[in-house]
Amino acid sequence: MKSLTITQPDDWHLHLRDGAALADVLPHTARTFARAIIMPNLKPPVTTVALASAYRQRILDAMDAAMRAGKLATGTRFEPLMTLYLTDNTSADEIAKARDSGFVHAVKYYPAGATTNSDAGVSSLERAFPALEAMEKHDLPLLIHGEVTDPRTDLFDRERLFVESQLQTIVSRFPGLRVVAEHITTREAAQFVEQARPGVAATITVHHLLYNRGAIFQGGIRPHFYCLPVLKREEHRLALVAAATSGSPKFFLGTDSAPHPRDLKEHACGCAGVFSAPAALELYAEVFDYEGKIYFLEGFSSHHGADFYRLPRNTAKVTLVKEAWTLPAEFSFGGGTVVPLRAGEQVGWRMA
Q: Which of 145, 236, 250, 342 binds ligand DOR (CB under 6 A)?
A: 145
Q: Which of 32, 47, 115, 186 binds ligand DOR (CB under 6 A)?
A: 115
Minimum gap (Å) between residue 51 Cβ and Zn ion: 18
Could you tell me which stretch among 42-50, 191-199, 249-257, 325-333 binds Zn ion (CB under 5 A)? 249-257
Q: Which residue is nearest to Zn ion, using beta carbons?
A: 256
* Residues 11 and 320: beta-carbon distance below 8 Å: no
Minimum gap (Å) between residue 137 Cβ and Zn ion: 26
* Residues 133 and 171: beta-carbon distance below 8 Å: no
Annotated active-site residue in 10, 11, 24, 256? 256
Minimum gap (Å) between residue 43 Cβ and Zn ion: 15
Q: Cα separation of 247 and 135, whole Å?
A: 28
Give Cβ neighbours of residue 210 (< 8 Å, ≥ 6 apart).
Answer: 237, 283, 286, 287
Give Cβ neighbours of residue 89 (< 8 Å, ≥ 6 apart).
Answer: none
Q: Which residues pair with 319 in a beta bridge?
A: 5
Q: What is the DSSP letter of 164?
A: I
Q: Which of 29, 32, 41, 205 binds ligand DOR (CB under 6 A)?
A: 41
| Residue 136 near which of Zn ion, ligand DOR, none (CB within 5-8 Å, type-dependent) | none
Active site residue 256: yes
Residue 228 touching ligand DOR (CB under 6 A): yes
* Strand extents, DSSP E, the chain: 3-7, 11-14, 35-38, 79-85, 104-109, 142-144, 179-181, 200-204, 251-253, 317-321, 325-326, 331-333, 336-338, 346-347, 350-351
Under rule CB under 6 A, which residues in 84-113 are in contact with ligand DOR? none
Residue 215 touching ligand DOR (CB under 6 A): no
**Residue type for position 132:** L
Give Cβ neighbours of residue 267 (< 8 Å, ≥ 6 apart).
Answer: 223
- How many residues of this chain bind ligand DOR (CB under 6 A)? 10
Q: Which of 24, 79, 147, 256 binds Zn ion (CB under 5 A)?
A: 256
Residue 273 touching ligand DOR (CB under 6 A): yes
**Residue type for position 207:** H
| Residue 314 near which of Zn ion, ligand DOR, none (CB within 5-8 Å, type-dependent) | none
Residue 56 touching ligand DOR (CB under 6 A): no
Catalytic annotation, residues: 256
